[in-house]
């Protein structure tokens, strides 16, 4: 089944404890992206990747890191999480980086930072 998977789905952690949220897609998509969803703000892009080893900042990149060593994986890293990073996170992918088209979303990761 074609899909975007994220792990974990739920995570409660404490301020300053490094964490990684994994994202994997099995559709051979070039483009991958991370979003955070907050009430009343919709989804905001954190980072995106046009292809392997090509990543760039989105609208709200502060406090986050990403890497794209393989085409299928795009992990999101929080080196020192803070309470304002409590949010619902979505990974998404798209077939072609150079064309506008449907993005496919993962199921989401709900993160709480205490």
Partner 1 sequence: AQSVTQLDSQVPVFEEAPVELRCNYSSSVSVYLFWYVQYPNQGLQLLLKYLSGSTLVKGINGFEAEFNKSQTSFHLRKPSVHISDTAEYFCAVSESGYDYKLSFGAGTTVTVRA
DSSP-derived secondary structure for 33-77: EEEEEETTTEEEEEEEEEETTEEEE-S--TT-EE--SSSSB--EE
If the CB atoms of residues 75 and 106 are measured against partner 1, the closer one turns out to be 106
By CB under 8 A, is residue 62 in contact with partner 1? no
- Alpha carbons 17 and 81: distance in angstroms, whole number: 6
- Alpha carbons 19 and 35: distance in angstroms, whole number: 16
**Interface pattern 17-56 for partner 1 (x via CB under 8 A):** --------------x-x-x----xxxxxx--x-x-----x
Smallest separation, CB 80 to partner 1 (Å): 27
| Cβ–Cβ under 8 Å, residues 15 and 83 | yes
| From 1, 62, 69, 101, residue interacting with partner 1 (rule: CB under 8 A) | 101
Interface residues toward partner 1, by CB under 8 A: 4, 31, 33, 35, 40-45, 48, 50, 56, 58, 90, 92, 97-103, 105-108
């Amino acid at each position: 089944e074609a899909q975007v998977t994220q792990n974990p789905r739920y995570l409660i952690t404490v301020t300053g404890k490094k964490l990684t949220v994994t994202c994997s897609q099995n559709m051979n998509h070039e483009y991958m992206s991370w979003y955070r969803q907050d009430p009343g703000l919709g989804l905001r892009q954190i980072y995106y990747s046009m292809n392997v080893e090509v990543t760039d900042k989105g609208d709200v990149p502060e406090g986050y890191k990403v890497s794209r060593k393989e085409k299928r994986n795009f992990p999101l890293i929080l080196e020192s999480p803070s309470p304002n990073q409590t949010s619902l996170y979505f990974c998404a992918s798209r077939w072609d980086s150079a064309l506008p088209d449907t993005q496919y979303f993962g199921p989401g990761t709900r993160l709480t930072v205490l």
